[in-house]
Each structure stands twice: as C-alpha cells, then as structure tokens.
Structure 1
Amino acid sequence: MDTIFQWGLDFIIMIQQIDTPLLDSFFRAITSLGDELFYLLLFPFLLWCVDFYLGIRVGIIFLLSVYLNNGLKEIFQQPRPFDILPQIQKVHAYGYGFPSGHAQSSLVVWGSIAYWKKQIWIRNLSVLLILLIGFSRIYLGVHFPTDILGGWLFGGLILGLSYFIFLKIKLDFIQGNMVYKIIGITLFPVILLQIQSSPDIISSVAALTGIGYGLLLFYSYVGEIQPGRWLQRLISFLVGVIGIGIIYLGLKLILPSEGQSFYQLSRFFRYLLLGIWISFGAPWLFIRMGLARQVEKKS
C-alpha cells in the first residue's frame, strides 16, 4: 500500500510541475462542478426546466451515491495525499480519500444524464466533465489517482444498479397503498441513520426523505407537469432558487449550528424541506403562477 501511495504522490508532484495561477483557477472552477452547491442548482434545473423525471432520477441516484460513498470511506479509511505531504494541497478537503466522492458523484450524475438524454453532444460533454473533475482532484492534491479510479468504479456500479431501480419507480409511486408508502418513507431515514449519521449523511438522507414525501404530494395534487416556454422556465428557475436560498441559507442562520444542541435535527429538517420544495413545492407554485402547465392528474 505504501508503494501505491508513493506512486500517487509522485504522479501529483509531476503534474503540479506545470501549475500556473491560471491552471489553478481553472481546476478550482472545474472541481466546484462536483460540489454540493452546484448539484443543488443542477438538479432543480433539470427537474423544473428540462424533464421532471430526469431531475428526480438523477437527484435520487446522486443522494444514494453520497450515502454509499461516505460508508465506503469509513470502511477503507485511506488518507488523502496532503495527509502525507501537506504542501501539495491546493483546495480544502476533509475526511478519508478512497473512493473519491467527486469522481463517484460526477460519474453517476453525468452518466445518468448521458444515459437518459441520448444526444451525442450531451454524452460528449458528460464524458469530458467526468474526466476533468476527476483530474482536477488529482491536480489540486486532494486525491490520489487510485481514489479517482475507485470513485469511477463504484460510481459505475451504482449507475448500473440504478437502471433496475428506476424501471418502475414512477408506477410504484402512483399505485399502491398510500399508508404503506408513508410508513416506508418515514422508516427510511430511521434505518439509514442508524448505520451512519455524519453531517453529509444526514443531509443526503433528509433530502431523499423530502423527495419521497414530495413525490407523494406531487402525484396527489399535480400528477404531471409540462414546463412553459424558455422564458417561463427561466422565471420558474429563479423563483425556485429563491425558495432554495430561503431554506438552505435562511434557515441555516436561525437554526442551531454545528456544536449546538439539536444541530443534527435542525440539519435534517432543513434538507427535508429542501427535498419537498424541489420535488413538490416549487412545481406546484409554478403551475399556480402560470409558469408551467398541469398536464394530467393521476391518483
């Protein structure tokens, strides 16, 4: 294992020999495309402005990937490059290194988009972003090359399994006993948070739970939604992002912060509301504002 770490450090040192302020800025921008804030804007954009079910699928796969990635890191407990050689670190990062969360998330997100949207340019863009985000983590000194390869490997496995998960997800949410669905969604976070409950885990599980409740409300009160023209979609996105800002940042200012009593509960509540807002609250509001059209109501 020491040999692998040494090889990884040598590789990072080699590519950092070509570093410049411009390259540093470029790869910091690229790596930000794998950060939480970017995905917090990407998924609503897909869901509200492109394809509701695409946004739901990609968002759920991403959140499940975050949960699994944190579990895998706890299992392997591998150091990051800067834990061994601090001077190579160019951006902030925390926790264990293997597998890379950025690499894993980029593969499941952009791989999902490329799979469900068949256009060649989308597939080419997805491959490019997956490669660039992975390389940026090496260049910035926060991951070994093996961390990136591991992230891609596990991301590929998750992506493959997700195909079977979503074959009947829409049908399952429309049909079946409502009481059983509510019980299932309610028990979901209780079970997962018994296994692991770090802040990132709380966020992903709470958002997944919120999406679950949101979908139940969506199918009960909306059914199907058709986005409006692109100007209406832009307005919808801006209105929706304001709601995200109120929940994500506004509540963060008034609810208990890390280290205070009830912090974990307040964090769960905040991300739960985010999931409900993105999957139901905002689409319902868009219809009421005339920015989107309710196509068909199913129960």
Structure 2
Amino acid sequence: MYTGIDLLLYLQAYRLSAPEIIDNFFHLISHPFLTGLLPVLVMAVIYWCYDKRAGTYMAFSIFSIDICSHFLKLLLYVPRPWILQPAIHPTAEAVSGAGGFSCPSGHTTSAAAFFGSLAVVFRKPVFVPVLCILAIVLIGFSRMYLGVHTPVDVLLGLALAGFFLWLNWHLLKCIDRNPQMDWVVTLISMAIILLLVACVLFRPYPAIEGVGPEVVAHAFNAFFLPIGWFCGFLFGWLVERRKIHFTIPLKTAPRILRGFGGLLFLLVLQTGFSACFPPLLGIEIGQFLSGILLGLFISAGYPWLLCFVRKKRID
C-alpha cells in the first residue's frame, strides 16, 4: 500500500539543508495550541457573543471530528513514519508533540475541523475562508515536512474532517426545520460515542516492534478528552434550548465584555480541573470528567449565569 514514505524522504533531504527558520515556521504553525485549546476558545466566544447556531456548528464539528480522528488512530493502529522506515528522521520538537499512533494526522484533522468550520461560519468577506484554507494546507504539509506523518495520514484526516463538516451542517439544518429533534440527536450521538468507546476498550492491541505501551496509553488519553467535551456540550446545548434561551446583545461593547468574562471563567475552570481531576481519578477519567464540566459550562453554565445576572439587574 502506498504510504508516501518516498515523499517524506524527499522532504527530509530538503529540510536537512534548508535554513532553520523554515523548521521554526512549521513548528510554530503546528503548535498544539492552534489545534487544541484555541479552537475551543474561539468556538465559545462565537457561541456566547456572535451566533448560537454558528457556535453550535463549530462545537459539533470540532468535537465530533476530534473523537473520530482518535478513534481511527486506535482502530487502524498505524505506527509513526520513523518506525515504518528507520531512514525517516523527524525533528525532535515535532516528535515531542507526536505521541500515539499516526493515522489519521491529528493536527491536520483538528486544523481542518477548526478552520473549516470557521470558513463555513464566516463565508464573507472572502479573505476569511481563503486564509482558513491556507492554514489547513500549511498545517497538513507541516506534518509531512517535519517527518511525523505520511501523505496518507494527512489526506485521511482531511477527508474525515470534510465529511463531518458537511454532515454537521446538514444535521443542524434538519434541527432548524424540526426543533424537537434535538433530544433525538443528543441520544443518538451518546449511543454512537458509547459504541466507539466499547470498540476501543475491547479491541485487541497486538505488540508492534517499536511501539511501546506508552503509545497506546497516549492514544487512549487523547481519545477520552474530546468525548468529555462533546458529551458536556451536547447535554448543555439541549438544556439551553429547552430551558435557558439566552440572547446575544446587539451592541458591541456588551459582547466584548461577555466574551472576556466567559474566557476568564473558562480558563480558570480548565486550569483548576486539570490540576485536580487527573491526579485524583486517573488521566482518562479525570480528563473525561473535566471535559464534561467544561463543555457543560460553555453551552449552558455561562449562558445561565448571563441570564441570571440580567434578570437581577432588571429586578
């Protein structure tokens, strides 16, 4: 099967003789913040301050794509390129952020989920989707240039993200036409997540030369974190639609104040949960519980707080 190892060797030959600034650029655009915390922060601000539906679309896309990406990593069980071909020598900085399995590329998939959903939400002005597509292409290419992913990994990540971006758009359009379907979507999503969890828990993981138990452990940790976020957001989204019904102010200043306040709350909670839950409950359960509470805070907790404060002011 074609994996593109020859392309990686070609890029490696160029990289070893290229100026260091090029490596630094690709390390910068591949930083985990761009495909990890930043998408959640931007999604939350859009949900609270710009458009609830747009924020919901971004949340559905970012979390569902991340879950399926890590599920496929555990299902396909593909080692990293330097294990498949010892002649591949990735950069040390890239390797430090490349735990777990190789296929599909997590950075590429997350970038496509975030920037792809952002491009759908902000289709005008046209430079926004153009810049988003450019970011996706550069991040995908960076993973090959740095030697941590093959072209197959990157292309599968792009295809996976493209499918879910399309699916979530039409799913939310269907809910717009039939608002009472929200609880059905929530239940089906939870059932699918349980099925995916059962698959990875009971799947045999045969020994592969060069792949230690820490690789499987890393893959499991990365799999459970977005599951918690998505489950929390889904439940809060349903509660908000049925009970809270928060509105977005028309003026810019209240939106900015709301966004800064929400981000401050979210970052404080994220720091506190990350410090408390994993050491007490273990990494998988701790990250899962932390994700549930943070996702719930975004979709329902902070909106409820906004409505409560507004009602107190009116009273």
TM-score bracket relative to the smaller structure: 0.7 to 0.9
Distance between the aligned counterparts of 2:3 and 2:193, measured in 1? Answer: 40
Q: 2:299 aligns with which of 269, 279, 286?
A: 279
Distance between the aligned counterparts of 2:176 and 2:296, measured in 1? Answer: 17
Matched, 1:100 2:105: yes
Query: Any idea what SS the aligned residue of 1:136 has?
Result: helix
Q: Deviations over 1:174-225 (max 9, x none)?
A: 42697x7886676565444222362222221211111121112212333252
CA RMSD in angstroms comes to 2.9
Query: Any idea what SS the aligned residue of 2:173 has?
Result: coil
Do the aligned partners of residues 86 and 67 (structure 1) sit closer, same or farther apart at CA in structure 2, a change above 3 Å counting?
same
Q: Deviations over 1:63-122 (max 9, x none)?
A: 111121122223333332344334534322111212212212222332222223321122
Do the aligned partners of residues 127 and 177 (structure 1) sit closer, same or farther apart at CA in structure 2, a change above 3 Å counting?
closer
Query: Any idea what SS the aligned residue of 2:19 has?
Result: coil
Residue 45 of structure 1 corresponds to 45
Distance between the aligned counterparts of 2:303 and 2:310, measured in 1? Answer: 11
Matched, 1:246 2:268: yes
Residue 116 of structure 2 corresponds to 111
Matched, 1:231 2:236: no
Residue 203 of structure 1 corresponds to 225
The answer (yes or no) to whether the contact 2:35–2:114 under 8 Å persists in 1 is no
The answer (yes or no) to whether the contact 1:76–1:98 under 8 Å persists in 2 is yes
The answer (yes or no) to whether the contact 2:233–2:299 under 8 Å persists in 1 is yes
Residue 288 of structure 2 corresponds to 268
Distance between the aligned counterparts of 1:233 and 1:30, measured in 2? Answer: 29
The answer (yes or no) to whether the contact 2:11–2:145 under 8 Å persists in 1 is no
Residue 163 of structure 1 corresponds to 169
Do the aligned partners of residues 154 and 87 (structure 1) sit closer, same or farther apart at CA in structure 2, a change above 3 Å counting?
closer
Q: Where do residues 78-89 of structure 1 align in structure 2 (5 Å cutoff)?
A: 78-83=78-83, 84=86, 85-89=88-92
The answer (yes or no) to whether the contact 2:246–2:303 under 8 Å persists in 1 is no
Q: CA deviation at 1:25?
A: 3.3
Residue 57 of structure 2 corresponds to 57
Do the aligned partners of residues 23 and 229 (structure 1) sit closer, same or farther apart at CA in structure 2, a change above 3 Å counting?
farther
Q: CA deviation at 1:50?
A: 2.3
Distance between the aligned counterparts of 1:82 and 1:188, measured in 2? Answer: 34
Q: Where do residues 204-223 of structure 1 align in structure 2 (5 Å cutoff)?
A: 204-223=226-245
Distance between the aligned counterparts of 2:135 and 2:3, measured in 1? Answer: 29
TM-score when normalising by structure 2: 0.79
Q: CA deviation at 1:3?
A: 7.4
Residue 93 of structure 2 corresponds to 90
The answer (yes or no) to whether the contact 1:9–1:81 under 8 Å persists in 2 is no
The answer (yes or no) to whether the contact 1:8–1:146 under 8 Å persists in 2 is no
Distance between the aligned counterparts of 1:182 and 1:127, measured in 2? Answer: 30
Distance between the aligned counterparts of 2:4 and 2:296, measured in 1? Answer: 44
Q: CA deviation at 1:231?
A: 2.8
Query: Any idea what SS the aligned residue of 1:196 has?
Result: helix
TM-score when normalising by structure 1: 0.82
Do the aligned partners of residues 28 and 228 (structure 1) sit closer, same or farther apart at CA in structure 2, a change above 3 Å counting?
farther
Q: Could you list the runs of 5+ residues in structure 1 that have no partner in the other structure?
A: 292-299
Distance between the aligned counterparts of 2:193 and 2:163, measured in 1? Answer: 23
Q: CA deviation at 1:16?
A: 4.7
Query: Any idea what SS the aligned residue of 1:70 has?
Result: helix
Residue 66 of structure 1 corresponds to 66
Distance between the aligned counterparts of 1:6 and 1:234, measured in 2? Answer: 49
Q: CA deviation at 1:2?
A: 7.7
Aligned residues: 286
The answer (yes or no) to whether the contact 2:46–2:55 under 8 Å persists in 1 is yes
Distance between the aligned counterparts of 1:164 and 1:112, measured in 2? Answer: 13
Query: Any idea what SS the aligned residue of 1:99 has?
Result: coil
The answer (yes or no) to whether the contact 1:78–1:96 under 8 Å persists in 2 is yes
Do the aligned partners of residues 53 and 79 (structure 1) sit closer, same or farther apart at CA in structure 2, a change above 3 Å counting?
same
The answer (yes or no) to whether the contact 2:71–2:223 under 8 Å persists in 1 is no
The answer (yes or no) to whether the contact 2:193–2:227 under 8 Å persists in 1 is yes
The answer (yes or no) to whether the contact 2:246–2:304 under 8 Å persists in 1 is no
